[in-house]
Amino acid sequence: MADLIPNHDNLPQSTGSFRADRAMYRSARDIQVQTRLADYKVQAHAALAGRIMEHAIEVDMRRRALAGNDEILGAILTDIEMNFLSSAKRVQTKLFNEFGF
């Protein structure tokens, strides 16, 4: 993350005006804050996606174990698994939209 945010050495040279310099540094600080916030949002989205994938594997393995060779039970449990995936995708999409992506 540190490489996303420039340090103060990379800021433009002083304008010679105290007010202009204050405004410039305030803008730079705002950019740093927004960059950090965007990075946290991306990290949260990636973490959620990873957890959804892990749970999808667990649910799929559980479905297979429960159904065994029973095709009818397999079909019923597949429907339940698909409902889980649909629900997880809605949660993910809602978070994605709330983050403004």
- Looking at the structure of the chain, the number of domains it has is 1
Residue 73 has pLDDT above 70, yes or no: yes
pLDDT band at 2 (very low <50, low <70, confident <90, very high): low
The answer to whether the beta carbons of residues 51 and 89 sit under 8 Å apart is no
pLDDT band at 49 (very low <50, low <70, confident <90, very high): very high
Residue 98 has pLDDT above 60, yes or no: yes
Averaged pLDDT, 51-70 = 97
d(CA 57, CA 67): 15
Long-range contacts of 52-61 (CB under 8 A, 24+ apart): 52/88, 52/89, 52/91, 52/92, 55/84, 55/88, 56/84, 56/85, 56/88, 59/84, 59/85
Structural domain that includes position 58: 2-98
Q: Return the pLDDT at 55.
A: 97
Residue 44 has pLDDT above 80, yes or no: yes
The mean-pLDDT minimum among 8-22, 39-53, 84-98 falls in 8-22
Alpha-carbon dihedral 65, 63, 59, 78, rounded to 10 degrees: 160
* Mean pLDDT, rounded, of the chain: 87
